[in-house]
């Protein structure tokens, strides 16, 4: 049986949002410098104590058990269906725990539009996992190891215009002013 203090700590960790998201700050730093070489970015990720998984490689990788304790993970994936399936498998596996997790995504694609599409599809597929947050960090072209920032288009805000029907009265019997 767990110590009540351990239970309370676990509940606080689950219910409280993450304090500072190093993935967002790394993504912002990547955008300010307009890119990183992948080995330099991996060193920076490692210095921030974030686990880096390269899903763009064709060989199978063993996931360490320590990954289950990580709250921030960076996944690098290719635009191939196998790479996307493996990345989603990791997201789905880690979504089974109730802890909040942030995934930084680096997509190896032909162009930024393809990287945005891969990220959007992955985010759409993982929307059922409310405690999972995906952040796009950047993309690298298939031919080199330079990681460029990706700026996602913000969704259009649709404003609804409320019109009042002159015949309408509320349940309290107050007629709208004209």
**CATH classification at residue 84:** 3.40.50.300
d(CA 26, CA 104): 9
Residue 171 lies in a domain: no
d(CA 135, CA 146): 19
Which pair of tokens denotes residue 125?
A: 């597929």
Task: Classify 102 as helix, strand or coil.
Answer: strand
| Residue 125 lies in domain | 26-57+67-148
For 92-130, what is each residue's pLDDT tens digit?
888 888 788 899 999 998 888 999 999 999 999 998 888
Average pLDDT over residues 86-97: 87
Residue 37: its H or E element: strand 36-37
Claim: this prediction has a pTM higher than 0.85: no
Residue 1 lies in a domain: no
């Amino acid at each position: 049986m767990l110590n009540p203090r351990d239970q309370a700590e676990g509940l606080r960790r689950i219910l409280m949002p993450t304090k500072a998201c190093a993935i967002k700050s790394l993504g912002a730093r990547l955008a300010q410098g307009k890119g990183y070489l992948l080995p330099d970015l991996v060193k920076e990720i490692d210095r921030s104590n974030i686990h880096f998984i390269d899903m763009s490689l064709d060989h199978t990788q063993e996931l360490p058990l320590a990954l289950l304790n990580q709250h921030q993970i960076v996944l690098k994936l290719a635009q191939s269906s196998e790479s996307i399936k493996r990345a989603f498998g990791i997201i789905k596996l880690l979504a089974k725990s109730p802890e909040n997790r942030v995934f930084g995504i680096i997509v190896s694609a032909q162009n930024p539009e393809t990287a945005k599409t891969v990220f959007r599809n992955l985010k759409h597929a993982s929307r059922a996992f409310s405690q999972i947050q995906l952040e796009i960090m950047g993309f690298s072209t298939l031919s080199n190891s330079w990681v460029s920032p990706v700026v996602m288009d913000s969704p259009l805000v649709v404003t609804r215009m409320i019109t009042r029907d002159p015949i309408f009265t509320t349940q309290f019997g107050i007629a709208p002013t004209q």
